[in-house]
């Protein structure tokens, strides 16, 4: 490594009040204390430690992972901040790690920018930062740079987080949304719709007592196992906002193919089915934060399915459909009654914000 280890030369500051004030966004000592206390303490690592305006990396170390960089960014505005199965901090790290991994990249480094509403509890902010740090640690990535802004009461809803990520794509990996071909197989790694249902239940708007937990998870280990066992995989995408239906429509449109899935083969939790029936929702459009959609060539579908099922995050993996010639851009579902229905892309908003 050409980047020398850093020894911290100063003592970190400490916040002495219970809630965030506008002074914490003013660029002075109060802001430094908030950043030190909440974020530097939680995220501390060799790359972050110098606290420069940018993180600095050794190019040779990056190149050891592959031959191309992957870069992604995402914002998270979930309400409530804490929900069964996760929180906004875990969601931010998992979402960004997954966006890198579905491109065949090894996730390495993340940034974290936060917009905090005046009056937010400092302890809540610490809790979110600790959750991000723990999730990053478990995923084997480092949060190495960031930014903090404080806005007046009412200018944002408690806390908004933007994370960006850098990863390196393994040599020879060429995944793409336009690569699906007739005969290819559609797979998913387990039960769909849990995250969207969990968030709506956690909001309390519907007074439902069913406990559904989010499937929030970092999927890079599963995807690495998948690509190792089936290197000819065409495409991988995490089915977040818009759910399974949106991803399938994106594939069908970009690849100019038709896709048909089987209702009976599509894995859904019974509680999610009942939840959707009560509220008149379609589970195909519910968000996920721990599920991928995979397009595999027919000669590698069995290997792909076996590799996914062998991983803890893919034990419920299933083949749910096939890519066909048909009408280009059209997605259909064969129902349990033997008929077919068109599965369009989501139009408008089905649920309150969920990621």
Q: Which domains does the chain have, with CATH numbers?
A: 22-169 (3.30.1330.10), 185-342 (3.90.650.10)
* Pairing of the two strands 331-334 and 258-262: parallel
Helices (H), 184-337: 194-203, 220-229, 243-255, 270-279, 301-309
Q: Calculate the average pLDDT of the chain.
A: 93
Could you tell me which residues are beta bridge partners of residue 161? Answer: 76, 114
Identify the pLDDT of residue 251. Answer: 98
C-alpha to C-alpha distance for 41 and 37, rounded to whole angstroms: 6
Q: Within 10 Å of residue 342's Cβ, how many Cβ atoms? A: 9
Identify the pLDDT of residue 353. Answer: 56
Return the minimum-mean-pLDDT range out of 6-10, 54-58, 78-82, 255-259: 6-10
C-alpha to C-alpha distance for 257 and 266, rounded to whole angstroms: 20
Residues in Cβ contact with 184 at an 8 Å cutoff, skipping those fewer than 6 apart: 234, 295, 296, 297, 298, 322, 323
173-189, pLDDT tens digit by residue? 999 999 999 999 999 99
Residues written for the chain: 355
């Amino acid at each position: 490594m050409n980047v020398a280890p850093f020894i911290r030369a100063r003592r970190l500051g400490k916040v002495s009040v219970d809630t965030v004030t506008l002074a914490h966004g003013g660029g002075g000592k109060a802001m430094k204390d908030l950043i030190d206390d909440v974020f530097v303490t939680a995220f501390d690592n060799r790359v972050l430690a110098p606290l420069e305006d940018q993180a600095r990396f050794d190019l040779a170390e990056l190149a050891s992972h592959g031959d191309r960089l992957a870069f992604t960014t995402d914002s998270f505005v979930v309400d409530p901040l804490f929900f069964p199965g996760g929180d906004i901090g875990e969601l931010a790290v998992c979402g960004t790690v997954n966006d890198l991994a579905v491109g065949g990249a090894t996730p390495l480094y993340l940034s974290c920018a936060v917009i905090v509403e005046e009056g937010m509890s400092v302890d809540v902010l610490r809790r979110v930062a600790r959750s991000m740090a723990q999730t990053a640690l478990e995923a084997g990535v480092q949060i190495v740079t960031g930014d903090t802004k404080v806005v007046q009461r009412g200018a944002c809803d408690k806390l908004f987080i933007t994370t960006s990520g850098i990863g390196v794509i393994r040599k020879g990996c060429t995944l793409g949304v336009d690569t699906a071909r007739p005969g290819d197989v559609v797979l998913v790694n387990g039960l769909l719709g849990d995250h969207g249902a969990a968030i709506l239940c956690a909001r309390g708007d519907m007074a439902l007592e069913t406990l559904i937990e989010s499937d929030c998870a970092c999927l890079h280990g599963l995807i690495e196992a998948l690509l190792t066992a089936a290197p000819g995989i065409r495409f991988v995408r995490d089915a977040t906002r818009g759910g399974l239906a949106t991803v399938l429509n994106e594939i069908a449109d970009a690849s100019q193919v038709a896709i048909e899935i089987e209702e009976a083969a599509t894995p859904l939790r019974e509680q999610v089915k009942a939840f959707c029936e009560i509220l008149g929702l379609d589970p195909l459009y519910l968000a996920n934060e721990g599920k991928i959609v995979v397009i595999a060539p027919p000669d590698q579908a069995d290997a792909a399915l076996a590799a996914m099922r062998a991983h803890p995050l893919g034990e419920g993996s299933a083949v749910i459909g096939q890519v066909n010639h048909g009408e280009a851009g059209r997605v259909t579902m064969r129902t349990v009654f033997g008929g077919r229905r068109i599965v369009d892309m989501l139009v408008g908003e089905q649920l309150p914000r969920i990621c």
